[in-house]
Amino acid sequence: MPKKKDYYEVLGVDNDCSQADIKGAYRKLARKFHPDVNPGDMTASHSFKEVKEAYDILKNPLTRDKYDQYGHAGLEPGFQSANNGFVITDSDAEPVVSDDVFKTAGMDDIYNVSNMGVGAGTATPEPGADLRYDLEISFEDAAFGLDTEVDIPVFRECDMCFGVGAQPGTTPRACQVCRGTGEISISEQTPEGTKIKRSTCNTCLGRGVFIDYPCSKCRGSGQIQASERILVKIPPGVDNGSCIRVHGKGAPGRKGGAPGDLYVVVHVGEHDIFERHGNQILCETLIDFVQAVFGAEIQVPTLEGPAKMRIPPGTQTGTIFRLRNKGLIDPQSGQRGDQHVKVTIVTPTRLNERQKKFLMKYAMAAEG
């Protein structure tokens, strides 16, 4: 098996460079070697795979640190460091939800985002909790939209105790303090007179009953957890961090309350070539000196595939051209943005003697 290249060498950066340097080097090389820019070029395709592999490792601080310490061997499955045999893997990192209003709901990628409520012994309907699901999609899926299925937790009536919560053959007993209501009344003296406040019963914690022998299947909750697969429609042009509401697919309500909603938070991956600015996209393409001087018709990548673009004679490096209606759809207005193509002139580095003499003659004529 051929020896793998050093990842820093592949990207052309130093091993003490910043994450921004790594990202910048990757974007530059990805534009140069991407298959859409070099159709049918197997050498460029191989180089692109090497660049992508290096970036995937170095962009993640965890895998980069492991590579810095142990090299390629540290990335092999089952690799153990000398730290008492502790296996360092990406799965050791716990996901963090930055928004404090989100609370776990007991299933991967699902977060409870509202209070479950108290006072189960009262007759007042209680709405179900809202749920959050984090969905990762590609840049292309965000551009064109997609229909995808996700698994969410659902709670159904226990089929052993039929929602009572007590072991079959036993019966819950009513709380003697609140008499089964789950609430107690407290009198308060105010300047305006006596006021009655209702609060949750501290004895039964709002349930209204005591279960001496909980159901062995639902552990006294009266509900069992399962999962439900639902269809989520991602609209074209959705942006990173967008929140899509699916009505009625949250946790079930209590005492006849309406179910909560499901909020799907979309995380859009980066593209190898395109940068997004609202519904506009930007990419860079390379042209040679001759194409810049005399003009040319070149192929540039778009979201729908390669497209032809005319380079006028005398084009300067850094010039930006616009391809109308090749950008992203604005989900609000339905308008499609444009694609902007920045051209960079590649300076020739390997010239034969004949070519050097020709350019020298040109330079002397230009000066004269």
What would the two tokens of residue 292 be?
């810049």
Most confident of 78-82, 205-209, 290-294: 290-294
Q: Which letter, b or e, does each residue of 282-297 get, where b requires 16 or more Cβ atoms within 10 Å of its Cβ? A: bbbbebeeebbeeebe
Percentage of the chain modeled with pLDDT above 90? 30
Strands (E) across 69-219 are located at 103-107, 110-112, 131-137, 146-157, 173-174, 183-190, 193-200, 209-210
Query: Residues in the chain, how many?
Result: 368
Average pLDDT (345-353) is 84
pLDDT (0 to 100) of residue 351: 81
CA pair distance 250, 126, nearest whole angstrom: 13
Residue range 275-367 in CATH 2.60.260.20: yes
pLDDT (0 to 100) of residue 117: 33
At 64-114, the pLDDT tens digits run 887 887 787 767 654 444 333 323 233 332 322 233 323 333 333 333 333
Lowest mean pLDDT among 105-119, 150-164, 353-367: 105-119
CATH label, 103-172+211-268, candidates 3.90.180.10, 3.20.20.70, 2.60.260.20, 2.30.30.20: 2.60.260.20
| pLDDT over 70 at 247, yes or no | yes
pLDDT category, 248, cuts 50, 70, 90? confident
Average pLDDT (237-254) is 86
Q: Which residue type sits at 44?
A: A
Q: Which residue type sits at 199?
A: S
Extents of the domains making up the chain: 7-92, 103-172+211-268, 275-367
What would the two tokens of residue 103 be?
């609370």
CA pair distance 359, 368, nearest whole angstrom: 14
Lowest mean pLDDT among 188-202, 272-286, 290-304: 188-202
What would the two tokens of residue 20 be?
């921004």
CA pair distance 209, 192, nearest whole angstrom: 35
pLDDT (0 to 100) of residue 169: 87
**Do 103-172+211-268 and 275-367 have matching folds?**
yes
CA pair distance 259, 228, nearest whole angstrom: 14
Does this model's pTM top 0.85? My answer is no
pLDDT category, 254, cuts 50, 70, 90? low
CATH superfamily of 7-92: DnaJ domain (1.10.287.110)
Degrees (nearest 5) of the Cα angle 120, 125, 129?
Answer: 80
Of 95 and 198, the structure prediction assigns the larger pLDDT to 198
CB neighbours of residue 250 within 10 Å: 28
At 15-73, the pLDDT tens digits run 889 888 898 888 889 888 888 778 878 888 888 889 988 998 898 877 888 788 778 77
Average pLDDT (139-157) is 88
pLDDT (0 to 100) of residue 2: 62
Q: Which letter, b or e, does each residue of 345-366 get, where b requires 16 or more Cβ atoms within 10 Å of its Cβ? A: beeeeeeeeeeeeeeeeeeeee
CA–chain centroid gap for 8, Å, is 26
Classify 63 as helix, strand or coil: helix
Beta bridge mates, 224:
156
